[in-house]
Structure 1
Amino acid sequence: MPILDAVLLFLAGFLSGAVNAVAGGGTFITFGAMTLAGLPPIVANATSSVTQFPGYITSTLAYWHDIKHFWRGALLLSLISALGALSGALILLGLDNPLFRALVPWLLLAATALFAAGPWLKPAPKPGHEAAVGSLVGSLAQFATAVYGGFFGAGMGVMMLATLGLTQSGDYHRLNALKNMLAVVIAAVAILVFVSGGVIAWLQAIIMIPGGALGGYAGVWIARRVPQNAVRGFVIAVGLFLAFYYFDKG
């Protein structure tokens, strides 16, 4: 691997970790860096899932106090999420790179729009001691979100928080904790499928993961000095750049 590509990937991992800590949207950066470094889009998408996975785990652990109160009830949604992620990941592996490349700009535009609308999609607080799970509408919405997460993933967190806010009870922090827990399930299942399909670029992932860890730590410093709207604007600009890059390549 050229040294410049390695530096690009490490910096992308760092930026991804930092923006995830401040505003979310790090998937745009990891996916974009790997495609610009020459990886096929399916490989870049699958490898990005690996680089984001440690952050999903640490976010879930940060909410462990809340999760302890409803984890038994969330098992049904976890199972539904696993089935949805399995479906989405298998659909991705069933495509060839040219077909997926044709879909990527549209997926990026949709994910960027979803991310931009994120502040308005945050659920309002709802009464209820615990987050209720298991309703038919909620289960179907979570399955659809998990299919998307297994297939592409960018903007999944915003989408899931919005659907949980519409279909579950509980305050924002409980819903966010549930979202983080389900994101771990979705990512884990998708990664297992991608590993079995041989579409993970492990060298690139190994370079990016330490950068993401350092970026997540630095995100605390950034959050105190850079307005969140500025970080969100940067992520939206990256998403739009990548979308038009793929439109031009197509």
Structure 2
Amino acid sequence: METLILTAAAFGAGILNTVAGGGTFLTFPALVFIGLPPVMANATSTVAVFPGYFGGVMGFRAELQAFDRKRLYRLAAITLTGGLVGSGLLLVSSNEAFAVVVPFLLLGATFAFLFGDRLRRWAAGKSRTMAPEGALGLFLVAVYGGYFNGGLGIVLLALFALWGMTDLNGMNALKSGLSFLLSAISVAVFAAAGLVAWPQAVVMMIAATVGGYAGAPLARALPKIVVQGVIATVGFTMSAVFFWRLVSGG
């Protein structure tokens, strides 16, 4: 039963990540449901969805190669540093403390997915208010991504708009590349610290990869409003569940 739950959650997460993102809404709660402590569940969830980021990088190879190499190295270094700090924060977080912030993180990520386009358009209108490719903004976003991965792509796209970027393909390519690096450093830290439940992680990695492949036709066929409805339903439901757990002490 445990394997069935994890496989179904990871398969669904792979589909969601391909269609719009939000796989964390399924993988993290499933791991908590089967009994993993919240911190270990978060670390294992990060490992479970990691292969999907590599697929995104490969899909945007041409766009990434168009970036100046020195520019990419600089952004990569900032991202890795922030991811390392965020992952380190998770290591020193108690399960009790992390359980308190999880409902708010899930709720915030849900709103980010729902209003991501508006957030990006707003950020584009404010592009002159932030220095292009500022280190501080990317560092803070990377810290968040290293601590909790939900909604990372939306936040990165908004940050790029604040930098003044306008080419959506280039923005998505950079988002995929930096997300992959951020997840890689997080996976390395969590693995070294012994926070990953590997039997569960391997099952979920396989299922998420298959789900990601299966999600491609859906991504092309589903209307955007349907995708947003699915994301909203899953995100708000999981947020409510974890708020209830927090209040009830469960």
Give aligned pairs, total: 239
Give the TM-score taking structure 2 as reference length: 0.90
Pairwise mapping of residues 191-210 of structure 1 onto structure 2 (< 5 A)?
191-210=187-206
Pairwise mapping of residues 23-62 of structure 1 onto structure 2 (< 5 A)?
23-62=20-59
Structure 2 unaligned runs (5+)?
A: 125-130
Residues in 1 aligned to 2:227 and 2:133: alpha-carbon distance in whole angstroms: 34
Q: Secondary structure at the match of 2:21?
A: coil
Greater mean alpha carbon deviation, residues 149-158 or residues 69-78? 69-78
Q: Tell me if the contact between 1:123 and 1:166 (Cα under 8 Å) persists in the aligned partners.
A: no
Q: Which residue of 1 aligns with 2:156?
A: 160
Q: Which residue of 1 aligns with 2:181?
A: 185
Cα 1:194–1:71 change in 2 (3 A) is: farther
Deviation at 1:123, TM superposition (A): 5.3
Structure 1 unaligned runs (5+)?
A: 127-134
Residues in 2 aligned to 1:104 and 1:56: alpha-carbon distance in whole angstroms: 23
| Greater helix fraction, Structure 1 or Structure 2 | 2
Deviation at 1:71, TM superposition (A): 5.0
Specify the code of the residue in structure 1 equivalent to 2:5.
L
Specify the code of the residue in structure 2 equivalent to 1:208.
M
Q: Which residue of 2 aligns with 1:15?
A: 12
Q: Secondary structure at the match of 2:216?
A: helix
Q: Which residue of 1 aligns with 2:60?
A: 63
Specify the code of the residue in structure 2 equivalent to 1:151.
Y
Specify the code of the residue in structure 2 equivalent to 1:35.
V
Identity score, percent? 39
Which residue, 42, 49, 72 being the options, matches 1:74?
Answer: 72
Which residue, 85, 107, 110 being the options, matches 1:109?
Answer: 107
- Give the aligned CA root-mean-square deviation in angstroms: 1.9
Q: Tell me if the contact between 2:132 and 2:164 (Cα under 8 Å) persists in the aligned partners.
A: no
Residues in 2 aligned to 1:167 and 1:108: alpha-carbon distance in whole angstroms: 26
Deviation at 1:90, TM superposition (A): 0.5
Pairwise mapping of residues 164-175 of structure 1 onto structure 2 (< 5 A)?
164-175=160-171
Deviation at 1:136, TM superposition (A): 6.7
Residues in 1 aligned to 2:243 and 2:27: alpha-carbon distance in whole angstroms: 19
Q: Tell me if the contact between 1:25 and 1:235 (Cα under 8 Å) persists in the aligned partners.
A: yes
